[in-house]
Structure 1
Amino acid sequence: MRIIQLILSVILVFYPHKASALATNYYATICPNLENLVRGAVQQKMAQSPVTAPATLRLFFHDCFVNGCDASVMIINPSGDDEWGHPDDFTLKLDGFDTVLQAKAAVDADPQCTNMVSCADILALAARDSVFLSGGPYWPVELGRYDGKVSTRNSVVLPHPDYNLDKLNQMFSIFGLDQTDMIALSGGHTFGVASCAFINNRLYPTTDPTLNPQFANQLRFTCPAILNPNNFVFLDATTFAAFDNAYYQNLQNGMGLLESDQILYTDPRSQGTVNLFASNQGAFFQAFIDAMTKLGRIGVKSALDGEIRQKCQFPN
């Protein structure tokens, strides 16, 4: 626990919670067709790949939680010392990156918008549209972020699948997110996939007692004891392609895929919120909107410490 506290203290010093001057109408005169351009690109990419939406949402979370919402997660360093080189980011699906790149190309193809919109803002809009186009809520996205110029592997510190409630709350609180925000953002696991590597310890050599026995048997069929790194399972076994509240209903039935998912129900301190979201999808959607808005304000860069990248993969 002391090690985690030390790591989070370092994060707070170098990447403080900072809400810059964001506004939902930031591009009203700069690039008035921005939202339509991004949404069109997201729709096109979703038609090509079923993991586009969850991959894009996860990319936004991984970006904001490291250097702030500055699209630094997309930077490629020739040396390989970048965020994506970290094991916690190496699992990110390329579909999320490609969604942003396609949206960036669509935006820059509009003469009024060329090199006027940050990759960070495009990512924020694409994450929202990925949720909305999957059946989730719509919300006005605050815009006006600048892109970061630096990406390093050592800067990546993210929640792990084996975290308990205290560790989850401690990490999220550093960024101004409370327990309800954390539980709502965990609801992003209502779609998408995870590698068997993240759950094999719950199946072998003995079964995690918090796992539904029938669900555990299903998981063993896909994830044998001899690990195949190419095998994956759906984070939501019931409605894996839809953004809904089934994730919380699964937790009630012992069908949370990751330890950090199921702990939200087994720990009595968070169980009440899980029950609320499981029975009231509207309450979950509103809490998710609130949490995503707060998440999008983390470490926002301005023209003083950022730039608008011409190519999302490389600083100017």
Structure 2
Amino acid sequence: GCDASILLDGPNSEKTAPQNWGLGAFVLIDKIKVVLEQRCPGAVSCSDILNLATRDAVHMAGAPSYPVFTGRRDGMTSTKESVDLPSPSISWKESLACFQSKGLDVQDMVTLLGAHTMGQTRCRYIVDRLYNYKNTGKPDPSMNTTLLNQLRKECPPRTRKGQSDPLVYLNPETGSSYRFSESYYSRVKTHEAVLAVDQQLSNGDNNMLQIVDEFAAGFEDFRKALALSMSRMGSINVLTGKQGEIRRNCRCTNADTNCKR
């Protein structure tokens, strides 16, 4: 992510990892890179483009703009084994440990999970909550019954051979609307979170619950916190100086002779 390794193509690249199958807009990054290479060749890295584009997309979705420090360099490798995204089914303690390992704290975790106020997920990530939670043969008891019945209509217990895994909205209230709101936190409080990792916030410690309550009650508090946490996340494992390179094409390293320029 922060070294633009996600942009590299290849049969075993990060793009091929199941956790990243829902990512898109790579063509948009390509178009930005083409224009920049025409105007200032070799000056702007793909990782800077990715971070700046993310900042602008988040701002367009309702969050405040935030400073992005440029000067990043691009990574040289990308493998699906290196993808470091936490499972959507982990506990809040496991989730917090994952964030802390990256230098982030509980405020960042609760804030950044709020991005799940929009977007979609595959049924395979929630089917256990709907039918066989922790091998009990029953649904997750923490899930709101109305939401459970709604999701069961969209996600069968198993998909048939050759059938694609259905997509469901993380926030059925807003559906395809790509706008941030405080509804994510309100839904956590009413046990209407789709992903287990989100609903786990309601089981957190007092500090975590206080943040959830604060964001559920005030959208402006969430907006400001999101800008700060996005900026902090964008500084994880950044390459600078002589590390990495500035790719001429975001889909391949400069040493790749098979890459189109």
TM-score clears 0.5: yes
> Following TM superposition, by how much is the alpha carbon of 1:81 offset from its aligned partner in structure 2, in angstroms?
2.6
Task: Quote the residue 1:196 is aligned against.
Answer: 123
1:42-191 matches, cutoff 5 A:
63=1, 69-77=2-10, 80-89=11-20, 91-93=21-23, 95-109=24-38, 111=39, 113-191=40-118
Query: Shift of residue 152 of structure 1?
Result: 2.0
The aligned amino acid for 1:92 is G
TM-superposed CA distance for 1:141, in Å, is: 1.7
Which one has the bigger helix percentage? 1
Residue 212 (structure 1) aligns with:
144
In 1: Cα distance, 2:188 partner to 2:216 partner: 9
**Are 2:92 and 2:203, in contact at CA under 8 Å, matched by a contact in 1?**
no
Q: Distance between the aligned counterparts of 1:276 and 1:289, measured in 2?
A: 16
CA deviation vs aligned residue, 1:99-144 (integer Å, no higher than 9, x gap): 32232233334x2x23321110111011111111122221122211
Residue aligning to 2:171: 236
Q: CA deviation at 1:268?
A: 3.9
Residue by residue, what CA displacement relative to the aligned partner does 1:30-63 show, whole Å, maximum 9, x if unpaired? xxxxxxxxxxxxxxxxxxxxxxxxxxxxxxxxx1
RMSD: 1.6
In structure 2, the partner of 1:19 is none
Question: May I ask how many residue pairs the two structures share in their alignment?
Answer: 243
Question: Distance between the aligned counterparts of 1:249 and 1:127, measured in 2?
Answer: 25
Q: 1:251 aligns with which of 176, 188, 210?
A: 188
CA change 1:104–1:261 in 2 (3 A) is same
In structure 1, what is the Cα distance between the partners aligned to 2:124 and 2:157?
10
Retained in 2: the 8 A contact 1:82–1:153?
yes
Matched with 2:235 is: 297
Identity of aligned residues (%): 35
Q: 1:148: Cα distance to partner?
A: 0.8
Structure 1 residues 99 and 245: alpha-carbon distance in aligned structure 2, compared to 1, 3 A threshold: farther
Q: Tell me if the contact between 1:115 and 1:310 (Cα under 8 Å) persists in the aligned partners.
A: yes
Amino acid aligned to 1:271: L
- 1:217 deviation in Å? 0.8
**Structure 2 residue 222 is matched with structure 1 residue 263:** no
CA displacement at 1:175 relative to structure 2: 1.1
**Which structure is richer in relative contact order (CA contacts within 8 A, separation 6 or more)?**
2
Larger deviation, residues 306-315 vs 221-230 = 221-230
Structure 2 Cα separation of the partners of residues 188 and 133 of structure 1: 13
Partner Cα distance (1:84, 1:239) in 2? 27
The whole-number CA distance in structure 2 between the counterparts of 1:139 and 1:130 is: 11
1:311 to 227, 249, 253: 249
| Partner SS state of residue 136, structure 1 | coil
Give me the TM-score of the superposition, normalised by structure 2: 0.88
Mapped partners of 1:107, 1:279: distance in 2: 42
